[in-house]
């Protein structure tokens, strides 16, 4: 019987390595790294975080997508949503003839065009169990690039459902990864989940656990972020904590601690294990990038440029960490920096709209920090560094030659 499900690559890395280098490599980034992650020209210094950009899971997903194109040159190839949250990478895949299946206005994927003669790439975030089964029923070849860190969260949530614990997931309920994670509870009858976005929402849950307060408000508030038929009185007696892998680690840990405190207040410490389970499921790459940007902020930087998709959760969290301390510009692409005009287009932290700022890099000595989300390729980081210097009329290519 012909194999139709693949998770471990096709052994074609040598064949596609040249294309990956052409599309995503940056000589500028290599040189800045070699100079101790900093370059100074005249009175302008750019410092690069020591962990940034593509993580292992993203590298693997992108490589696997390129391998899929090489493995099946005659097949139509579809991609469920975005491979990762970076417009440049997704555009490259589209240029390779990979058709992106977008969500409808109702939030569902239309798999009607997919046939048994096609191949379908599942993104690094994974897909819901329902979508996976729909694709399996279509008979297409499935190439699964789901990140290993995400799979670890799925196993944790599945274990909660198996043992009749409700999974409380710190994440964004509309995010592809969280949708896929929450769907794992459906493997067991009575499996339940609740998605909390932040500490404010977590405290509503804690109030109910501790005092039985606000049950109706919980139902209303979490209608879209809870399993069907969610009943606080029934479903918040035994809870297990998990999180979207790209959330802010400190907040995830604080939410887990707050819910644990509420459970102890309600049931006592002696029976804690009967009512509460927790496991830190932030991926190591997300943590490494957050730690690196905190170290960067200790280097007396005057401002920070964060490069990455506006819909990238881990990139947004990097920007939020920086914005607490220095002026921060979250740009989706290097071309958001326009040297000739002296402007930068960016999405201010906590907003959804891009704005243009003139004169963002004022005259005089400056130290500019730069980092990038885990879905941002090196070439976009290198281009951003080049454009920062060009804003001061400095040709970085001449300096690094």
pLDDT recorded at residue 257: 97
Give residue 299's pLDDT. 87
- Whole-angstrom CA distances from 193 to 137, 170, 261, 275 are 26, 11, 20, 15
CB 23 within 8 A of CB 379: yes
- The predicted pLDDT at position 1 comes to 56
pLDDT value of position 397: 87
CA torsion sign for 81, 82, 87, 93 is: negative
Please identify every residue annotated as catalytic: 177
The per-residue pLDDT for 351 is 95
CA distance 103 to 183: 17
The confidence score (pLDDT) of residue 239 equals 98
Show the CA angle centred on residue 54, arms to residues 194 and 390, nearest 5°. 120
- Work out the end-to-end distance of the chain between its first and last CA atoms, rounded to an integer number of angstroms: 56
* CA 249/CA 147 separation, integer angstroms: 18
DSSP letter at 302 equals: S
Within its chain, how far is the Cα of 312 from the centroid?
A: 5
The pLDDT, as a whole number, for residue 401 is 73
Each of the 401 residues of the chain gets a pLDDT tens digit; together they read 578 999 998 999 999 999 999 999 999 999 999 999 999 999 999 999 999 999 999 999 999 999 999 999 999 999 999 999 999 999 999 999 999 999 888 888 999 999 999 999 999 999 999 999 999 999 999 999 999 999 999 999 999 999 999 999 999 999 999 999 999 999 999 999 999 999 999 999 999 999 987 788 898 999 999 999 999 999 999 999 999 999 988 899 999 999 999 999 999 999 999 999 998 787 888 899 999 999 999 989 999 999 999 999 999 999 999 999 999 999 999 999 999 999 999 999 999 999 999 999 999 999 999 999 999 999 999 999 999 999 999 999 888 87
User: What are the start-end ranges of the E strands in 300-391?
Assistant: 303-307, 328-331, 337-338, 343-346, 355-358, 366-372
Q: How many Cβ atoms are within 10 Å of 336's Cβ, its own excluded?
A: 20
Going along the chain from its start, the domains and CATH numbers come out as: 26-55+285-400 (3.40.1010.20), 57-146 (3.40.50.11270), 149-282 (3.40.1010.20)
Q: Is the dihedral of CA 86, 316, 350, 346 positive or negative?
A: negative
Nearest in space to 49 (alpha carbons), one of 381, 266, 369: 369
Neighbours of 189 (CB within 10 A): 7
Whole-angstrom distance, CA of residue 348 vs CA of residue 336: 13
d(CA 234, CA 230): 8
Report the pLDDT value the prediction gives residue 344, as an integer from 0 to 100: 98
If one counts every other C-beta atom within 10 angstroms of the C-beta of residue 318, the result is: 31
The reported pLDDT for the residue numbered 333 is: 96
CA distance linking residue 380 with residue 369, whole number of Å: 15
Phi, psi of 83 (to 5 degrees): -65, -40
DSSP code of 109? B
- Residue 368's CB: how many other CB atoms inside 10 A? 22
């Amino acid at each position: 019987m012909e194999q139709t499900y693949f998770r471990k690559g096709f052994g074609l890395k040598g064949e596609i390595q040249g294309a990956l280098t052409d599309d995503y490599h940056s000589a500028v980034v290599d040189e800045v790294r070699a100079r101790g992650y900093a370059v100074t020209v005249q009175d302008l210094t750019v410092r690069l975080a020591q962990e940034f950009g593509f993580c292992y899971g993203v590298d693997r997903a992108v490589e696997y997508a390129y391998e899929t194109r090489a493995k099946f040159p005659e097949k139509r190839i579809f991609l469920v949503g975005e491979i990762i949250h970076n417009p440049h990478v997704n555009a490259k895949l589209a240029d390779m003839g990979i058709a992106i299946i977008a969500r409808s206005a109702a939030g569902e994927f239309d798999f009607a065009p997919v046939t048994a003669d096609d191949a379908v790439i599942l993104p690094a975030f994974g897909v819901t169990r329902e979508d996976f089964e729909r694709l399996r029923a279509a008979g297409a070849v499935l190439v699964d690039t789901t990140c290993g860190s995400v799979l670890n969260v799925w196993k944790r949530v599945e274990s909660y459902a198996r043992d009749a614990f409700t999974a409380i997931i710190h994440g964004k309920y509309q995010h592809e990864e969280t949708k896929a994670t929450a769907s794992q509870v459906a493997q067991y009858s009575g499996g339940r989940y609740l998605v909390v976005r932040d500490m404010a929402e977590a405290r509503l849950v804690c109030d109910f656990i501790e005092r039985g307060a606000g049950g109706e408000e919980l139902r209303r508030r979490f209608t879209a972020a809870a399993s069907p038929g969610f009943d606080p009185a029934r479903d918040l007696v035994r809870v297990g904590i998990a999180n979207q892998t790209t959330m802010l680690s400190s907040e995830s840990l604080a939410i887990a601690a707050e819910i644990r405190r509420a459970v102890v207040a309600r049931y006592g410490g002696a029976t804690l294990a009967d009512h509460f389970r927790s496991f830190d499921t932030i991926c190591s790459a997300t943590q490494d990038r957050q730690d690196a940007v905190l170290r960067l902020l200790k280097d007396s930087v005057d401002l920070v440029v964060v490069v990455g998709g506006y819909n990238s959760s881990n990139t947004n969290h990097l920007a939020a960490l920086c914005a607490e301390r220095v002026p921060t510009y979250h740009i989706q692409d290097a071309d958001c920096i326009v040297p000739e005009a002296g402007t930068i287009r960016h999405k201010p932290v906590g907003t959804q709209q891009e704005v243009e700022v003139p004169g963002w890099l004022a005259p005089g000595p400056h130290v500019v920090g730069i980092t990038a989300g885990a879905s941002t390729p090196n070439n976009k980081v290198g281009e951003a560094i080049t454009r920062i210097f060009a804003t001061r009329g400095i040709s970085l290519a001449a300096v690094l030659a």
